[in-house]
Amino acid sequence: MGRTKAKPGVKPGPKVGKDRRQEILAAAAQVITDRGLSETRIQDIAETCGVSTGLILYYFESKDRLLVEALTYANDQFYLRLSRELRKNPSARAQLDRLIELSVPGLLPEFQFLDEWALWVEIWVRALRDPEMAKEHEVLNRRWRRSIADIVRHGRSTGEFPEGLDADELGIQIGAVVDGLAIQVLMDHGDVTPDDMLRVSRDVSAKLIGFALEPAGA
């Protein structure tokens, strides 16, 4: 099986120690994505990473705690990925485009196995009643909107974007549009396709920030 040979080497190889916790968190995120939070059983998680149910509760004090940690873990992964991608692009326009691309459910093939947005919705539901989750959500949420606001600020410093509304305000506005559209795409009736979301997000962002989009198609 995936038995990891733990070398007695003092310092971490690729995988030691806390490794199991992370495996479990990843497995949990996977199961939550597949089955939904409310249908996720400890045994599913155990099977997904090939261990016994007992072990899950050896590393986590309760199922509830594990689930909250798994949700934030998955979101952290997305955020790290997003940050890395943004750093590659010096242009604020390109950054905004990339942020939007990464936010369209199921658009990027690497992400297909794990729909970030399906987990967001679970986070919302849980945060409504679970103070622990609410606290985490507040952090994740602010981080998300700040990513947008920072792009706006950056674009203004380079002169790509005009001055205008408070950047944080724009973070809220654009964030809201992206959230709202992502839900529609996620639901996957034909009404709003991934391409629609791309187009509309760019369009509305341009309108709100106040720069001109070069005509893409006709």
Partner DNA sequence: CCTAATCCTGAACGGTGAGTCAACGCCCTC
Partner DNA sequence: GAGGGCGTTGACTCACCGTTCAGGATTAGG
Which listed range, 38-46, 81-89, 100-108, 142-150, lies at the site for DNA (CB under 7 A)? 38-46
Least distance CB 96 / DNA (angstroms): 41
Q: What residues numbered 60-119 form the site for DNA, per CB under 7 A?
A: 62-64
Which listed range, 4-12, 66-74, 152-160, 169-177, lies at the site for a second copy (CB under 8 A)? 169-177
**Size of the residue set binding a second copy (CB under 8 A):** 41
Which pair of structure tokens corresponds to residue 135?
């606290």
Which of a second copy, DNA, none interacts with 137 (beta carbon under 5 to 8 A by kind)?
Answer: a second copy
Rounded Cα–Cα distance for residues 152 and 139 (Å): 20
Contacts from 92-95 at CB under 8 Å and sequence distance 24+? Answer: 92/151, 92/152, 92/154, 92/155, 92/158, 92/160, 92/161, 93/155, 93/160, 93/211, 95/151, 95/154, 95/155
Q: How far is CA 33 from the centre of its chain?
A: 12
Least distance CB 62 / DNA (angstroms): 4
Rounded Cα–Cα distance for residues 78 and 167 (Å): 23
Amino acid, res. 214: E
Which of DNA, a second copy, none interacts with 41 (beta carbon under 5 to 8 A by kind)?
Answer: DNA
Which listed range, 57-65, 69-77, 78-86, 120-128, lies at the site for a second copy (CB under 8 A)? 120-128
All residues at 6 or more sequence positions from 178 whose CB lies less than 8 Å from its CB, including other chains: 100, 103, 148, 201
Kindly give the residue spans of alpha helices, DSSP state H, lying in the chain: 19-35, 42-48, 53-59, 63-88, 92-103, 116-129, 131-157, 167-187, 194-209
Q: What residues numbered 64-93 form the site for a second copy, per CB under 8 A?
A: none
Q: Which is nearer to a second copy, 49 or 123 (CB)?
A: 123
Q: Under the criterion CB under 7 A, does residue 146 sit at the interface with DNA?
A: no
Task: Look at residues 104, 29, 31, 15 and name the one whose alpha carbon lies nearest to residue 68.
Answer: 29
Instruction: Give the binding site for a second copy (CB under 8 A).
Output: 35-39, 118, 121-122, 124-125, 127-129, 134, 137-138, 141-142, 145, 169, 172-173, 175-181, 183-184, 186-187, 189, 191-192, 196, 200, 204, 207-208
Instruction: Give the binding site for DNA (CB under 7 A).
Output: 1, 3-9, 16-17, 20, 40-43, 50-55, 57-58, 62-64
